[in-house]
């Protein structure tokens, strides 16, 4: 079975955000101009994704994956009992992670911007909040990556490939 799920906007956003955040977190000098410029670019990416979440294709819209603790608990129950989920778009746990990362990226951008303003320049509490948010984002990203690989193995759907190609493919459990 092969289904087209992820449109180009979702895929480009996903990989641009991943590469941009990784560059900021690992490679780019946090005191440099490039850090600020890439930080602004990430905020713009997130804002564009928020718009696309309202007007985009079916599985890109937030209405397709509303945040739901009860649905997430149901997915955890499915995982614990070995039941296969039937989620064409984002899973309930994936939805919570998406909302978490979108909000966290915006808060990182906001605290970063505020640290450059005359009123908050040199603010130690704001600097610490920015660092805590970055650490939270890094932990969230690691959890996200681990969950994607776990769910790929559990479901038989190569989720990283789906986010590259746009297509979710599942091999028939009977060998097809």
List, for residues 83-141, the tens digit of each pLDDT value: 877 788 999 999 999 999 999 999 999 999 999 999 999 999 999 999 999 999 999 99
- Structural domain spans, the chain: 2-169
Fold classification of 2-169 (topology level): Fumarate Reductase Cytochrome B subunit (1.20.950)
User: Facing residues of 169 across strands?
Assistant: 2
- The rounded distance, in Å, linking the Cα atoms of 163 and 15 is 8
> Using one digit for the tens of pLDDT, what is the confidence trace for 32-70?
999 999 999 999 999 999 999 999 999 999 999 999 999
Identify the H or E element spanning 133: helix 124-155
pLDDT at 159 exceeding the cut of 50: yes
């Amino acid at each position: 079975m092969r289904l087209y799920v992820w449109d180009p906007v979702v895929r480009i956003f996903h990989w641009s955000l991943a590469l941009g955040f990784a560059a900021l977190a690992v490679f780019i000098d946090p005191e440099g101009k490039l850090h600020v410029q890439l930080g602004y670019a990430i905020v713009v990416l997130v804002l564009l994704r928020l718009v696309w979440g309202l007007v985009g294709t079916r599985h890109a819209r937030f209405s397709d994956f509303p945040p739901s603790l009860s649905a997430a608990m149901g997915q955890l129950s499915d995982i614990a009992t070995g039941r296969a989920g039937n989620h064409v778009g984002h899973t309930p746990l994936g939805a919570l992670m998406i909302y978490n990362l979108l909000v966290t990226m915006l808060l990182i951008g906001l605290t970063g911007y505020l640290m450059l303003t005359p009123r908050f320049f040199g603010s130690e509490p704001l600097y610490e909040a920015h660092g805590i948010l970055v650490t939270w984002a890094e932990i969230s990203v690691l959890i996200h990556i681990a969950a994607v690989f776990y769910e790929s193995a559990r479901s038989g759907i190569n989720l990283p490939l789906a986010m590259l190609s746009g297509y979710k493919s599942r091999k028939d459990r009977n060998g097809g």
